[in-house]
Copies of this chain bind each other. A is one copy, B any other.
Amino acid sequence: MICNSTTALPLTAAYQAFLDQLTEAGLFIPQGVQGVYGFSGAFEDVLQAFDRFTMRRSAHIPSEPMHFPGVLSREVYLKTSHIENFPDLMGSVHSFVGREREHAGMLAKRQQGEEWTQDLSPSQLMLTPAGCYQLYPTATGTLTEQGRTVKLVSSVFRHEPSVDPCRMQVFRMREYVRIGTPDQALEHRRQWLALGKDILTELGLGVEVVLANDPFFGRGGRVMAASQKEQDLKHEFTIAVATSEKPTAIGSTNCHMDYFGKTFDIKTPDGATAHSACIGFGLERVTLALFKHHGLDPDHWPQEVKNALAL
């Protein structure tokens, strides 16, 4: 079954139509909240196959593999500037730490339609805004000459409920991260700008590489966005998914300069602050792009794509 064209509809209608197709095909399992879905085995198999494909295509780049749980120490979170620049995206985890009396009080509040969550306390944890936030604090100290090259996967959270199936509140990020000298970081970005595009193109996804910026909050945010663009720090691999009106970024490369090195006191052997760069693939987004472009039934995908993914 091919995917009925949604590309000509107005934006919201196109998103809803694509979401409906995914749900009717059983690929998405609604969870009653925008941007939160369960996935069928068929969807998940493609997602995992793509993830393994990126690792096969980058096997020539030695790296340390890691898996992170998707929650971040609040203390680590507050060392970064995320609360300043992206407050609208954060997820703070709150828990109940009272005893039976406080419990009864909280249940009574809820019973009376009052805000029972006021009786919760902030836990030691935030939901992580990006996978690599969980890596940098573990690299505090002085690097070797080779620096660090890490491949990691993590769930991440962004508080941006949307009808766009590509814009989920919880999603998985596969990242390849470099921490080292400025040249090592830039070389990593250069390498992955090419390799990322090759990987996606090999799967029949004709992405365009575009200069981009992060969604900095507020009026000051526009200045930061412009500065990020001027400095050529972020590029996105974009492709039409639900609609060609607004292509979706299914991956990005990011130069952090010395931001994480400074924040987490990571130094190169010469004593300078380390630089870092990463590529991130939005695993669900790439999977959605594959289903959109090749059809809702992987059995009928082009043979070369199936071969590449070892499907």
- Interface residue ranges, A against B (CB under 8 Å): 29-33, 36-41, 43-44, 64-73, 75-76, 78, 83-84, 87-88, 90-100, 103, 106-107, 110, 115, 117, 120, 122-125, 127, 134-135, 137-138, 152, 155, 157, 159, 161, 168-171, 217-219
Contacts and interface: CB of A to CB of B under 8 A. Distances in A.
Given A40-B64, A69-B155, A70-B170, 4 more contacts: A70-B155, A88-B96, A99-B218, A100-B218
A66 B31 CA distance: 13
21 contacts: A29-B66, A29-B138, A32-B75, A32-B76, A33-B124, A36-B69, A36-B73, A37-B69, A39-B68, A40-B66, A41-B64, A78-B110, A88-B97, A90-B120, A91-B93, A91-B95, A92-B117, A94-B117, A103-B217, A115-B122, A125-B169
Contacts of A32: 73, 75-76, 137
Contacts of A161: 124
A301 to B, nearest CB: 19
Which 7 interchain pairs have the tightest Cβ spacing? A41-B65, A95-B159, A69-B170, A117-B122, A32-B73, A44-B67, A87-B96
